[in-house]
Amino acid sequence: MNAEILVYPFLFVTIFFEAFVLVTFLSAPARGARARQAARVEDPALPTVAIIVPCLNEGETVAATTNSLLALEYPKDKLEIILVDNGSTDDTPTIMARYAGNGQVTILREEIRGKHNAVNTGIASTSADLIGCLDADSFVEPDALLEVIPSFRDESVGATTAAMSVHRPGNLLQHMQNAEYIFGITLRHVLSSVNGIYVTPGPFSLYRRKVVLALGGFREGHKTEDLEMALRLQKAGYWIENAPRARVYTKAPRTVPALLKQRTRWTTGFMRNVSNEYRGLVGNRRYGALGMIVLPIGFLAIASGILLFIVAIFQVVRHALVAYQLRSGIPLAYAWLPHSGTFDWFYLPSSLYILLGITTVAGSLTMITVGKRLSKTPGNLIYGLFAYLFLYGLLAPLWLMRATTDVALGKKRLWR
Partner 1 sequence: MSLVGRNALIALLITIALVATVVYAISYLNRQRVAALSAIEDQLSIDTLSLDTEFSLLEAAPCDQSADGIGLTRELSDLGDRLSYAEEQLGSDNAQVIRLKQQYSLLEIRDYLITKKIATACGTKPVTVLYFYSNNGDCADCDKAGYALSYFRSTYPTLRVYSFDYHLSLGALQTLIDVTKVKGDRLPAFIINGTTSYGFTSLADLEKKFPKGALPAVTATSTRP
The CA distance from 76 to 85, in Å, is: 23
Q: Which stretch binds partner 1 (CB under 8 A): 162-170, 172-180, 345-353, 383-391?
A: 345-353
325 binds partner 1 (CB under 8 A): yes
Pick from 69, 62, 67, 75: nearest CA to 118 = 62
| The binder of partner 1 chosen from 20, 238, 388, 399 (CB under 8 A) | 20
Cβ distance to partner 1 smaller for residue 316 or 394 = 316
* 300 binding partner 1? (CB under 8 A): no
The span of 23-31, 147-155, 236-244, 272-280 binding partner 1 (CB under 8 A) equals 23-31
- Asked if residue 156 binds partner 1 (CB under 8 A), the reply is no
CB under 8 A: which stretch of 115-123, 132-140, 310-318, 330-338 binds partner 1? 330-338
Whichever of 8 and 390 has its CB closer to partner 1, that residue is 8
Q: Between 6 and 215, whose beta carbon lies closer to partner 1?
A: 6
State how far the Cα of 337 lies from the Cα of 228, in Å rounded to an integer: 53
Phi, psi at 406, each rounded to 5°: -60, -45
| Site membership for partner 1, residue 194 (CB under 8 A) | yes
Residues 7, 10, 24, 200: which binds partner 1 (CB under 8 A)? 24
* DSSP-assigned letter for residue 290: I
Q: Measured from the CB atom, is 289 or 398 closer to partner 1?
A: 289
What single-letter amino acid sits at 276? N
Beta bridge partners of 300: none
What is the full DSSP assignment across 155-221?
TTEEEEEEEEEESS--SHHHHHHHHHHHHHHHHHHHHHTTT------STTEEEEHHHHHHTTS---G
| Helix-strand-coil split of the chain, %, nearest 5 | 55, 10, 30
Q: Which is closer to partner 1, CB of 127 or CB of 325?
A: 325
Q: 10 Å Cβ neighbour count for 173?
A: 20
- The reply to whether 297 sits near partner 1 by the rule CB under 8 A is no
Least separation in angstroms between residue 374's CB and partner 1 is: 18
One-character DSSP codes across 59-107: TTTHHHHHHHHHTSSS-GGGEEEEEEE-S-SSSHHHHHHTTTT-TTEEE
Q: Out of 5, 313, 317, 352, which residue is the one contacting partner 1 (CB under 8 A)?
A: 352
Could you say whether residue 207 binds partner 1 (CB under 8 A)?
Answer: no
SS3 380: coil
- Backbone phi and psi for residue 43, each to the nearest 5 degrees, phi listed first: -65, 120
CA distance 66 to 372: 26
Residue type, 156: S
Is 198 a binding residue for partner 1 by CB under 8 A? The answer is no
Q: Does 2 bind partner 1 (CB under 8 A)?
A: no
Which stretch in 100-108, 270-278, 321-329, 365-373 sits in contact with partner 1 by CB under 8 A?
321-329
Nearer to partner 1, 300 or 356 (CB): 356
Q: Which residues bind partner 1 (CB under 8 A)?
A: 12, 15-17, 19-20, 22-24, 27, 29, 194, 196, 288-289, 292-293, 322, 325-331, 334-335, 339-340, 346-348, 350-352, 355-356, 359
